[in-house]
């Protein structure tokens, strides 16, 4: 008898559907995090839980505006990618998920941080530049 679908990871179909796996350690989501961290030039090893991950994430930036931008990007990864997959059946590869994170975080930053002079290609190239960091 196999594991019920409700107990399987929504990204990789693994049998261990825990919060840590869903948000950090699933083989698919961990690739998304690595790509986003590379984009932001963040460098740390994925920790054992989401709380420590957030601490590591925000320790990578110093200024208040960069932290606000990092929070927007972090939320785009944690919530939007997962919700798109679960609630809207948007099954996609890592590259497409990362692209959605970039577009969504750019849109959220335009609205919440009032960075009116940043075009999408500039955001995708270097969000720190757009955030004034």
Residue ranges of the alpha helices (H) in 48-93? 50-59, 64-75, 82-87
pTM of structure? 0.83
116 token code pair: 């009116």
Give 4's pLDDT tier (boundaries 50, 70, 90): very low
Give dist(CA 25, CA 31) in Å, integer: 9
Given a cut of 80, whether residue 64 has pLDDT beyond it is: yes
CB neighbour list of residue 42: distance below 8 Å, 6 or more residues apart: 57, 60
- The string of pLDDT tens digits covering residues 14-47 is 666 676 777 777 888 889 999 999 999 998 888 8
Q: Calculate helix-pair angle for 27-40, 64-75, nearest 10 degrees.
A: 150
């Amino acid at each position: 008898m196999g594991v019920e679908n409700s107990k399987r990871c929504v990204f990789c179909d693994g049998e261990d559907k825990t919060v840590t796996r869903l948000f950090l350690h699933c083989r698919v989501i961990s690739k998304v995090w690595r790509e986003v961290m590379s984009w932001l030039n963040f460098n740390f090893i994925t920790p054992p839980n989401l709380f420590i991950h957030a601490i590591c994430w925000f320790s990578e930036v110093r200024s208040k505006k960069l932290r606000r931008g990092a929070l927007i990007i972090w939320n785009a990864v944690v919530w939007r990618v997962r919700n798109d997959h679960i609630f809207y059946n948007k099954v996609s590869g890592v590259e497409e998920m990362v692209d959605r994170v970039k577009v969504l975080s750019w849109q959220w930053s335009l609205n919440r941080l009032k960075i009116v002079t940043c075009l999408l290609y500039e955001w995708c190239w270097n969000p720190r530049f757009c955030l004034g960091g």
